[in-house]
Amino acid sequence: MSEKRFDIRPKKFKIHELPKRFEITKTMYPGSTLLSEVEQIREGGLTVEREEDLDRLVEAPLLEACKILYRKGIRTEFSSANRADITSGFAYIVVDAGSLTEQNKEVALRMGETEMMHGSVERPGVWLKIPVGENTTVGEVETVSIEIANRFDQQ
């Protein structure tokens, strides 16, 4: 019987650099756009490390308000202002109640409702709700949310 030989040569592999982050292209909407036309951003569960992170995590109608809160040192946990919110009747920004100064906690409680936030650790959050309906525009939500954010003090 003849002996079979196999020629095993090392293969060359090319390593491709993969993107480190998943990027979402931000869609901006004119103020007259109906909220029912705003797509939901599904990326979440990420910690905001820089103000620019908000651009890919916050929907357009609430973006400026969340940036104002960020600059004031107020931690927003999550927010929503898109077509899905028409069913519930409100868009919202949720701030971490435990991270607020006493003065800002008073402001938040006058404007919002305290509920438990679910995650790795349950903790209280203040839901700052903005009423929305079928005819609500991006501009209306943006205006009200900025008014809310401007009521808070720097902390």
pTM of the model: 0.79
The mean pLDDT of 96-118, rounded to a whole number, is 93
Report the distance separating Cα 92 and Cα 110, nearest Å: 15
The mean pLDDT of 39-64, rounded to a whole number, is 87
Q: What does the pLDDT look like over 58-101, one tens digit per residue?
A: 999 999 999 999 999 998 999 999 999 999 999 999 999 999 99
Classify 140 as helix, strand or coil: helix
Domain assignments of the chain as residue spans, ordered by start = 35-150
Q: What is the pLDDT of residue 48?
A: 84
Sheet arrangement for strand 90-96: 76-80, 90-96, 123-131, 113-117
- Count of residues making up the chain: 155
User: Which parts of 5-65 are beta strand (E)?
Assistant: none
Q: What is the pLDDT of residue 28?
A: 76
Q: Is the pLDDT of residue 132 over 60?
A: yes
Q: What is the pLDDT of residue 123?
A: 87
